[in-house]
Chains A and B, each alone.
Chain A
Amino acid sequence: EAEVAQSPRYKITEKSQAVAFWCDPISGHATLYWYRQILGQGPELLVQFQDESVVDDSQLPKDRFSAERLKGVDSTLKIQPAELGDSAMYLCASSLLPSGGELFFGEGSRLTVL
């Protein structure tokens, strides 16, 4: 069964350092999403891509976060510099359709900032 792949699964870093997360969506899924899930809360959308284009990054803290999907396949989410409040699970999801379709989630990357 096809899955959304994410790495690393766990990352511990010190504040002010740079971190990066990688996501490989299900083959053929044009829409890719990055969500942040703080402990005890539901996931919140950070950025949505349609192919290589950003369609929604309204909740992305652009002073320190960046996301790219250069070839419209895999994607990288970067944080620089990391802050204590960035500790969270970062979830990647993909969907076949940009609207009304099911989202398939990866297992997430858990970030701890010390």
Chain B
Amino acid sequence: AQSVTQLDSHVSVSEGTPVLLRCNYSSSYSPSLFWYVQHPNKGLQLLLKYTSAATLVKGINGFEAEFKKSETSFHLTKPSAHMSDAAEYFCVVTLTGGGNKLTFGTGTQLKVEL
């Protein structure tokens, strides 16, 4: 069985300050982990993915995430938030080599204030 827990349902930051969106996972086997972003009334877009290569993964729009097996975490970070980053972010887990059955977290709504 696999699951993800997004620790914050809402995060609010000021423009230009760092962003931290937290995610913990549970997986019986070697997981693949993803972060997706969903802007209002839009489909989900892949930000980045971890598939057992480098533990620090760089994605689009300046986002990155670090896979920490000892902490079962895959937190998403960005050094400086931009207004356009306001959206909902989903942490997702799937089994490496286990097909594309994705298990989504409940999402974190990111608000960016001036």
Does B100 count as interface, using CB distance less than 8 angstroms? yes
Contacts of A111 in B (CB 8 A): none
Given the known interface contacts A100-B51, A100-B96, the answer about A43 and B44 at a Cβ–Cβ threshold of 8 Å is yes
* Secondary structure of the A contact surface, majority rule: loop
The 8 closest A-B pairs by CB, nearest first: A42-B104, A105-B43, A105-B44, A107-B43, A99-B99, A106-B43, A43-B104, A102-B46
Q: Which residues of A contact B100 (CB under 8 A)?
A: 31, 33, 48, 95, 97-101, 103
Total interface residues in chain A, CB < 8 Å? 26
| Interface size range of chain B in the complex | 20 to 34
Known contacts A99-B97, A102-B46, A102-B49; A45 and B41 CB within 8 A of each other: no
| A4 at interface, CB cutoff 8 A | yes
Report the Cα distance A48→B94, complex, angstroms.
14
